[in-house]
Amino acid sequence: MADNLPSEFDVIVIGTGLPESIIAAACSRSGQRVLHVDSRSYYGGNWASFSFSGLLSWLKEYQENSDIVNESPVWQEQILENEEAIALSRKDKTIQHVEVFCYASQDLHEDVEEAGALQKNHASVTSTNSMEAADSACLPTEDKSLNTVSCEMPAEQIPSSDPESALVVNDAEVTGEKENHCDDKICVPSTSEEETSENVPPAEDTAEQPKKNRITYSQIIKEGRRFNIDLVSKLLYSRGLLIDLLIKSNVSRYAEFKNVTRILAFREGRVEQVPCSRADVFNSKQLTMVEKRMLMKFLTFCMEYEEHPDDYKAYEEMTFSEYLKTQKLTPNLQYFVLHSIAMISETASSTIDGLKATQNFLRCLGRYGNTPFLFPLYGQGELPQCFCRMCAVFGGIYCLRHLVQCLVVDKESGKCKAIIDQFGQRIISKHFLVEDSYFSENTCSHVQYRQISRAVLITDRSVLKTDSDQQISILTVPAEEPGSFAVRVIELCSSTMTCMKGTYLVHLTCTSSKTAREDLEPVVQKLFTPYTEMEIENEEVEKPRLLWALYFNMRDSSDISRNCYNDLPSNVYVCSGPDCGLGNDNAVKQAETLFQQICPNEDFCPPPPNPEDIVLDGDSLQPEASESSATQEVNLEPPKESANLGNPEEPSE
């Protein structure tokens, strides 16, 4: 395909992360000719999701990537006298300090069927203190290309029968009664369900019945396609910018979502559920009647705090933690509000920051469920692909595994005029958007990056056991030492389509102060116990057992001034990678800001036109018909589990 690429575009986007994908979709929707390329073999960049074997292949790819030696660039011969080049990097240096630990036992008589699987070294890991585990269990030995859900753009899903529907939300919690979660714009029916996965072959549960709860590493490998493991762990605020954009642009028809069912807190060595909605507060057995009244009074104030400036103006200079101590809240309530509702720093966040965060949390309650958060089925990596699909529908051209060697700059005008790709083809464009990781060290020599510490765990049960095993939970573990940061824990069940049945996928995230393992392992040890052979027969283990763990540091390139990059032409725009925040607002704001610079008079991702209003040359609406037929190929979730959410502009019946 590269030989047949057009030689001129309006916009060239390099990198398929979430901000780049949103911009590409917006530009394509506004009529711009868009070329969207990525040197990787999968969509999403550091926003991607992988199957288990795909994740192992990704780790191996990073190991091989670090060994790349830059060859003498042939493209220099194509640079003319009145031009200069900005070389792009062939190495991705955004991931560091990767350590992998396998705790699950492996039956040597079982054949490992999934491609890219690594064999466990039995002597390597028996506890989280084993230092040699990273080398012995880290990387696969086969030279296997990435085998992931995100490698190819999936066929379009069947759109909802209601043309005005905006989001499909599946209730993750199994309940015995029906209940409506409504606001003034959307009504979401909550129905009882059985967790079934018609699109995925049934798990081989019967083979392991003799030993209850025993999950082997071979099982994880065999069921590897059931995993969709996110590189970056985030949730969607139900009234956040990304949800609004998904609804406005109708990109939401390409994805489905689950409600996050629980907000948890870690206090005095134990995990407990936090009451956040009015019903939760009054049904809570953790709070006394006096505490319930205190909490409701304070939360009511936070919802409309701007209308009562006299109640907080005197405390603006102090931290939110100190402000809470003045509000007649018990230590129990102060802890819940600070760490599980506002979810902000105890030492670095002001009173205004805390009130805004609490207000945002409360405003998002009840739109789609009892918590403010949604999680996309099949992982966060689905979201960039949704916007890439929208871009392609409106004419954008996509090339994965397509390396861009350099940007060509005209010396006279000082503007970028073209790129030269790996085949030596020169492609002209008016605007260029480049993801931060593609710039060379020379371009980024003055940039000071932060780091994000990440851990991905596979466990055998939830951190807080309840009657239902299909819970999606978020937990914040406060920082204990000065200079360290609170750790955000997101636990996903199998109904999110991110892990195999009988396991949980747990993501830990914090701002880095050390390596990821040094930052996060203390929290892992508090919440989980390593799975060892000695414990298999003991069914009454207090903590969930840890089967597998991955630690790594990821570059945080958000909120970096454009002026920090050396000698960038005015028509070259920088897109950052994932930030450490829980939501996706930073990516959406960045995308909209850059889009307005490229297309200042255009609407940002407007709703698609009604097919009935489109008049094409000739007598056929063939493109619309072909798109419709394509969407009928794959239905990623059984329809009986889906609840259609009407367009916010028109409340559904």
User: What are the Cα distances from residue 622, in Å, to 484, 615, 628?
Assistant: 58, 11, 10
d(CA 269, CA 103): 23
Q: Of 299, 303, 326, 302, which Cα lies nearest the Cα of 315?
A: 326
575: left (phi over 0), alpha (psi -120 to 50) or beta: beta
DSSP string, 318-336: SBHHHHHHTTT--HHHHHI
pLDDT digits (tens, 9 = 90+) for 547-576: 999 999 999 999 999 999 998 999 999 999
DSSP classification of residue 255: -
Q: pLDDT confidence of 36, banded at 50, 70, 90?
A: very high
pLDDT at position 385, please?
Answer: 96
DSSP classification of residue 291: H
Q: What are the residues facing 11 on neighbouring strands?
A: 34, 431
Average pLDDT of the chain, as a whole number: 79
Q: Looking at 143-152, 180-189, 249-258, 524-533, which range is the least confident one? A: 143-152
Q: Three-state SS for 104?
A: coil
CB atoms within 10 A of CB 463: 22
Looking at per-residue pLDDT, the higher value among 277 and 6 belongs to 6
Q: 11, 598 in Cβ contact below 8 A?
A: yes
Angle between helices 241-249 and 382-393 (to 10 degrees): 30
d(CA 175, CA 253): 26
Q: pLDDT confidence of 534, banded at 50, 70, 90?
A: low
DSSP string, 41-62: SSSSGGG-EE-HHHHHHHHHHH
Helix/strand number for the chain, H first, E second:
14, 27
